Amino acid sequence: MSDLYEDRKMQMFPHLTPAQVARVAALGQQRRVPAGEILFEQGDQNNQFMVVVSGAIEVVQPVDGHEVPITVHDAGEFTGEINLLSGRRSQVRGRMRDAGEVIALDHDAFRHLVQRDAELSEIIMRAFILRRMGLIEHHQGDTILIGSRHSGNTLRIKEFLTRNNHPYTYFDVETDHEVQALLDRFHVGVKDVPITICRYTYVLRNPTIEQVADCLGLSGALSPEKVRDVVVVGAGPAGLAAAVYAASEGLDVLVLEGNAPGGQAGSSSKIENYLGFPTGISGGALAGRARTQAEKFGAEIATARSAVGIDCPTRPYAVKLANGDVVRGRTVIVATGAEYRKPELPNLERFEGVGVYYAASFLEGQMCGGEEAVVVGGANSAGQAAVFLSQLTRRVHVLVRRPQLSETMSQYLIERITNNDNIRLHTRTVIEELDGGEHLESIRWKNLDTGEQNESPIRHAFMMTGASPNTHWLQGCLALDEKGFIKTGTDLTGDELKAARWPLPRSPRLMETSLPGIFAVGDVRSSSVKRVASAVGEGSICVQLIHKTLAEL
Ligand SMILES: Cc1cc2nc3c(=O)[nH]c(=O)nc-3n(C[C@H](O)[C@H](O)[C@H](O)COP(=O)(O)OP(=O)(O)OC[C@H]3O[C@@H](n4cnc5c(N)ncnc54)[C@H](O)[C@@H]3O)c2cc1C
């Protein structure tokens, strides 16, 4: 146990060898620093990467006028965590404790180092990821969230912060004693929940995720003049794969994500059939790694930035964002995936986040607190949710419209469901009514063959009922199939190309839409296989076609 701890600590705070320090020095500047100098402040952006040559840097978390010690870097150690890759705000303060010398690398030089030096890249990336995990585990960040289990918006912001791997401290107005002191201090009341306090300074009352992202510096300003090689819309598995391959091949890539990276996969507790992870991997972990990988290669990822339209006839293409910004790309990859179709139930929206959920990750599982839950749907996502929730709840009822699961669910999940005493499968059954007060309190369902109805005092329903493509934002720019998925390549008919005024003598390439240079990958693409691996495959293959298209311009 203690060996493991020591091992992890060494990976988190490694000492570089003199030869490794010399390679860093070749890209940076060495300078003397007196004791007491602040090297980086909590909230600062685009900080330098520093290696201690002599002396020591102390890293602390400023909280409410005092400092919580985090670590001390001595000779051979380096500063930073995952935010250095993206230039996002520092969560901590760094001060020279003992006078000495440091080597400092600016953002570009640091990127150059991690992209070109494989040995140092591995050491630094591992340390950065472990340091960020440490900040999250110990709630050592600059963000406070005050919320309530009776507020759906609280869950929305928790999900946003968690999926962005942003450390925060949570206080619940119903259960945490310290809450009143906090509310008084920041001059807010229970009616304002959820309240986000950024950098212990800025108070956001019941904010949107865009406001949270702006306040925390999760997304920077996007230049309307800069023309990128490729703008990727959507950071699910397909968009992230496109970003990793495009950036690693030297293209200038901007990724726009309406929420947090990960997409549908990010809402899964465990993906077990993705190649290379025999014990499975949570969607959140997969997305976090992919995002770090994309940022390491230089992709810019803007979260909480929804695309609301493309100016179709003009090239370079202009993608319009919900906040009014416009970004430009010589090519565009549409990777906006799909989202659950909401069943038509009268009270559905009222209970969203307070009993009705569209994801089944650890965060939503925690909300169930050992009670019973209902999962609606018969696809793999519903099966995974049921198996996962069976560990956290007293009983899971799976409601499926069809007579059996075999047409819609993988065999390994069917076996787990049928062999699990905690899961009860109700075939030919539909959900009919949700009822409750501030929180969902009861659910009624009906058997379609017998007409028999059942009303149970169940407070948690997970809706996993088929997916609709996220294509409404395209506003008719691209040819779609009858279900609204984007048509590409040879699936596009002559009439569709004529209607779209396809201007080139060549036909659309594989995954190219009815507009040249706009590609569609992953779940949003008509006739694609709706799986993580195929989304990742399409995102990466597409980059080859982007190169060919850029060569034409
Ligand atoms: C709970 C669950 C479990 C699953 N388990 C498995 C599994 O075990 N194995 C497997 O292979 N597959 C699984 N799947 C399916 C798999 O997750 C999807 O096939 C995959 O995520 C599709 O990836 P994508 O990138 O094409 O789209 P998505 O994952 O849907 O990502 C699309 C992204 O685009 C963003 N977006 C949408 N509109 C906009 C806009 N206008 N502007 C900016 N951004 C936008 C979304 O926020 C989202 O992040 C599961 C799905 C779910 C829901």
> pLDDT per residue over 495-514, tens digit each?
999 999 999 999 999 999 99
Cα separation, 353 vs 473, in Å, equals 24
pLDDT of 487 strictly over 60? yes
Beta carbon of 384 within 6 Å of any ligand 1 atom: yes
Beta carbon of 351 within 6 Å of any ligand 1 atom: no
Q: Is 484 left (phi over 0), alpha (psi -120 to 50) or beta?
A: left
Beta carbon of 306 within 6 Å of any ligand 1 atom: yes
pLDDT of 1 strictly over 60? no
* Alpha-carbon separation of residue 14 from 33, 77, 84 (angstroms): 22, 6, 17
What's the average model confidence in pLDDT over 376-404? 95
Cα 446 to middle of ligand 1, angstroms: 30
pLDDT tens per residue, range 97-126: 999 999 999 999 999 999 999 999 999 999
Beta carbon of 237 within 6 Å of any ligand 1 atom: yes
Beta carbon of 372 within 6 Å of any ligand 1 atom: no
Letter for the amino acid at 477?
Answer: C
Q: Look at residue 424 in the predicted model and tell me its pLDDT.
A: 97
N- to C-terminal Cα separation, the chain:
59
Mutate to test the pocket of ligand 1, among 163, 233, 264, 478 (most ligand atoms within 8 A of CB): 264
Beta carbon of 257 within 6 Å of any ligand 1 atom: yes
Cα separation, 268 vs 282, in Å, equals 6
Residue 244: pLDDT band with limits 50, 70, 90: very high
Q: Can you tell me which atom of ligand 1 is nearest the CA of 238? A: 25
Mutate to test the pocket of ligand 1, among 408, 532, 538 (most ligand atoms within 8 A of CB): 532
Beta carbon of 470 within 6 Å of any ligand 1 atom: yes
Structure tokens at 464: 């996993």
What's the average model confidence in pLDDT over 425-448? 96
Average pLDDT, the chain: 94
Residue 269: pLDDT band with limits 50, 70, 90: confident
What's the average model confidence in pLDDT over 12-39? 98
Mutate to test the pocket of ligand 1, among 336, 412, 468, 474 (most ligand atoms within 8 A of CB): 336
Q: Which residue has a Cα nearest atom 37 of ligand 1?
A: 336
Q: Look at residue 369 in the predicted model and tell me its pLDDT.
A: 86
Cα 337 to middle of ligand 1, angstroms: 5
* Alpha-carbon separation of residue 536 from 126, 138, 184, 303, 540 (angstroms): 23, 32, 48, 19, 6
pLDDT tens per residue, range 317-337: 999 999 999 999 999 999 999
Residue 2: pLDDT band with limits 50, 70, 90: low
Cα 379 to middle of ligand 1, angstroms: 14
Q: Which of 117-121, 137-141, 181-185, 191-195 has the lowest mean pLDDT?
A: 137-141
Question: How much is the pTM?
Answer: 0.93
pLDDT of 389 strictly over 70? yes
What's the distance, CA 325 to chain centroid? 21
pLDDT of 375 strictly over 90? yes
pLDDT tens per residue, range 398-411: 999 999 998 889 99
pLDDT of 79 strictly over 80? yes
Structure tokens at 366: 């925690």
Q: Which residue has a Cα nearest atom 12 of ligand 1?
A: 531
Residue 221: pLDDT band with limits 50, 70, 90: confident
